[in-house]
Structure 1
Amino acid sequence: MTAIPRGLIVSCQASAGEPLFGAPMMAAMARAAEVGGAVAIRANGPEDIAAIRQVVGLPIIGLWKLRTSDSPVSITPHRAAAEAIAQAGCDVIAVDATPRPRPDGATLDDLIPFIRNVLGKPVMADCSCLADALLAESLGADYIGTTLAGYAWPHGRPMTDGPDLDFVAELAGRVTKPIIAEGRFYLPDQAARAMTLGAHAVCIGGAITRPQDIARRFVDSICQVL
């Protein structure tokens, strides 16, 4: 199974309506991340993953966000989603690792072994708290991510202004699988701090790949002195 090296992972994702939405844009963004020294790419959906696979040689952490009215779980919620992104060319599959109800009656204790044993792909467990991480590790997850900390409330940890570095430190003392720190990283020193706390890699998205958000932060700062 493909291993994710230590270092920076860049999440290349854009939603419909954003300026850079579309597979060609995400492929270009992934190529730029590779040139800049990223060790892996995180990408959403079969179309984007397939396009990125054509232009980069880095490992791709794939997911598929499928939002439904009957479940709060959207990140690769079931077998069909996992199989589609595996066929598109991803190397690792990320899943929502919270215990919240999944669409189609899917369960985490079925999904993780299916991805590992049938699809032959390592699993990144997107967790919101220590309990999620311990369960995912017991089910065979290969990587533990802090991705959903603050985003599954009232389940899990509450939202923090920046990255939940306390969660990274907590995981470092309790899990044996590599930790991928993710969520609200905006500054290089925050990423470096996560590594010193025990993260195997740091995944950064909007601070690198959403120019409209980057521009807005500069504008907000300038407006404070005008």
Structure 2
Amino acid sequence: MDVLKTLRGGLVVSCQPVDDGPMDYPEIVAAMAEAAVAGGAAGLRIEGVDNLRAVRPRVTVPIIGIVKRDSADTPVRITPRISDALDLVRAGADVVAYDATPRPREDERDAILAAILSAGALAMADSATLEDGRSARAGGASILGTTLSGYTAETERDDPAPDLDLVRAFRALGGFVMAEGRYDTPALIAAALDAGADSVTVGSVLTRLEVMTTRFCAPFAARARQ
């Protein structure tokens, strides 16, 4: 399978339920994944080795795998260890996404990238800045993602809109551009494509029922306070 050709021009659905929520079970994540593919998703983004193992036999589309870890020692959460990357490849990930920012972590970002490539998978650089993407591309990452723009100390902002400027900047670098982060309407997906994205990842609005229910309940709560 030509992973990039399959993903180009298509939607990637991030099937990541709320941590420890009622849908946070591998069999439910696998059902979400199948439903997303049935709806037309060209690829999936799956967190956790157990979830990936549950999803892999049930779909044929490319899977972008990540492991999230919380640590008091580093703000990096996305695939912070070489061992995480290798576990994801063994579980069937076609692509492994990693935090491509220069922030310190247990294993250096360049070592994680090299491990992904050595294991035979493609690498997706979850980036916050143009320099993150430039460094990742030089190291061999196939996909540049805008995933972390707005979620690091350097890029944090109050504006809830996605970072279309970073999409444009990555387009100018060349390679495969994945728009990710705060894309929660079809109009924003169209804007990302217009800005040069090859693909767009959408998560919470599709797969986090608690988050979206809270959003839709807000008008009722506001009316009750009047």
TM-score, with length taken from structure 2: 0.92
Q: For residues 160-179 of structure 1, what are the alpha-carbon distances to aligned partners after superposition, in whole Å with 9 as ceiling and x for unaligned?
A: 31222222123222x11111
Partner of 2:113: 112
Identity percentage of aligned residues: 37
Q: Distance in 2 between matches of 1:218 and 1:66?
A: 30
Amino acid at match of 1:9: V
Amino acid at match of 1:162: A
Shift of 1:158: 3.5
Amino acid at match of 2:166: F
- 1:163/1:184 contact within 8 Å kept: yes
Match of 2:196 among 190, 195, 198: 198
Q: Structure 1 stretches (4+) deviating beyond 6 angstroms?
A: none
Q: For residues 189-210 of structure 1, what are the alpha-carbon distances to aligned partners after superposition, in whole Å with 9 as ceiling and x for unaligned?
A: 1011101110010000001001
Q: Structure 1's 156 and 218: CA in aligned 2 closer, same or farther, altered over 3 A?
A: closer
RMSD (CA atoms): 1.6
Match of 2:76 among 59, 64, 73: 73
Shift of 1:222: 4.5
Amino acid at match of 2:12: I
Shift of 1:15: 3.7
Q: Give yes or no for the alignment of 1:140 onto 2:125.
A: no
Shift of 1:225: 5.5
Q: Distance in 2 between matches of 1:163 and 1:32?
A: 26
3-state SS, counterpart of residue 208 of structure 1: helix
TM-score, with length taken from structure 1: 0.92
3-state SS, counterpart of residue 166 of structure 1: helix
- 1:129/1:157 contact within 8 Å kept: no
Q: Distance in 1 between matches of 2:122 and 2:8?
A: 13
Partner of 1:149: 149
Partner of 2:48: 45
Shift of 1:159: 5.1
Shift of 1:156: 3.7
Match of 1:183 among 172, 177, 181: 181
Amino acid at match of 1:90: A
User: Which stretches in structure 2 are left out of the alignment for 5+ residues?
Assistant: none
User: Which stretches in structure 1 are left out of the alignment for 5+ residues?
Assistant: none
Partner of 1:161: 160
Amino acid at match of 2:116: I
In the alignment of these two chains, the number of paired residues is 221
Q: Give yes or no for the alignment of 1:122 onto 2:122.
A: yes
Match of 1:9 among 2, 7, 12: 12
Q: For residues 120-150 of structure 1, what are the alpha-carbon distances to aligned partners after superposition, in whole Å with 9 as ceiling and x for unaligned?
A: 0100000001111111111111000000011
- 2:86/2:115 contact within 8 Å kept: no
